[in-house]
């Protein structure tokens, strides 16, 4: 899977997507937007990078099952995927193509292929946090199933 890192200076946006909830009823995208960054020197890269600092609310979701509504950002064409980028925003407004911040996207690994759609879909999976690997996104969702 093509990896796109989060080293880019973030544009922090308040994100509110309906029907994106954790088990406790928390709006997932809104919670994921509660992030700050700190500059740290990366020995491998040889320069300072922005490292995510996850809020307490985000840390509470780590490893938990969440349901999220958003948009598939295909990385290998428009077909069914088991690995793809998922965005709070449509393709033309997402982190990679528009002005959204890195907190508005996540890497997805699904149990079964999910067919590409330009329309919003709802998926459920286990939320994973990444603050160490700059070649990966900050958020990941594993064991994903399509809800609707």
CATH code at position 72:
2.40.50
Q: Is the pTM of this model over 0.85?
A: no
- For residue 71, tell me if it sits in a domain: yes
- For residue 33, tell me if it sits in a domain: yes
**Number of domains within the chain:** 1
pLDDT at 92 over 90: no
Range of the domain at 110: 21-146
- For residue 99, tell me if it sits in a domain: yes
pLDDT band at 11 (very low <50, low <70, confident <90, very high): very low
- For residue 80, tell me if it sits in a domain: yes
- For residue 120, tell me if it sits in a domain: yes
Tell me which DSSP letter residue 9 carries. P
Residue 12: the pLDDT is: 28
CA distances from 127 to 9, 62, 63, 118 (A): 23, 5, 5, 23
- For residue 12, tell me if it sits in a domain: no
Give the integer Cα–Cα distance in Å for 53 and 34: 9
Residues 142, 122 contacting (CB under 8 angstroms): no
For 15-19, 83-87, 105-109, which range has the lowest pLDDT when averaged over its residues? 15-19
- For residue 100, tell me if it sits in a domain: yes
- For residue 9, tell me if it sits in a domain: no
């Amino acid at each position: 899977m093509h990896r796109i890192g989060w080293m880019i200076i973030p544009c922090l946006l308040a994100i509110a997507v309906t029907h994106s909830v954790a088990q406790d009823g928390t709006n997932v995208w809104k919670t994921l937007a509660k992030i700050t960054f700190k500059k740290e020197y990366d020995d491998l890269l040889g320069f300072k990078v922005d490292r995510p600092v996850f809020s307490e609310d985000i840390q509470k979701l780590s490893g938990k099952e969440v349901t999220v509504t958003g948009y598939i950002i295909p990385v290998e064409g428009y077909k069914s995927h088991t690995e793809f980028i998922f965005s709070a925003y449509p393709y033309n407004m997402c982190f990679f193509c528009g002005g959204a911040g890195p907190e508005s996207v996540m890497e997805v690994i699904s149990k079964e292929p999910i067919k590409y759609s330009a329309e919003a879909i709802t998926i459920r999976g286990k939320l994973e946090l990444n603050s160490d690997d700059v070649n990966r996104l900050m958020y990941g969702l594993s064991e994903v199933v399509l809800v609707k």
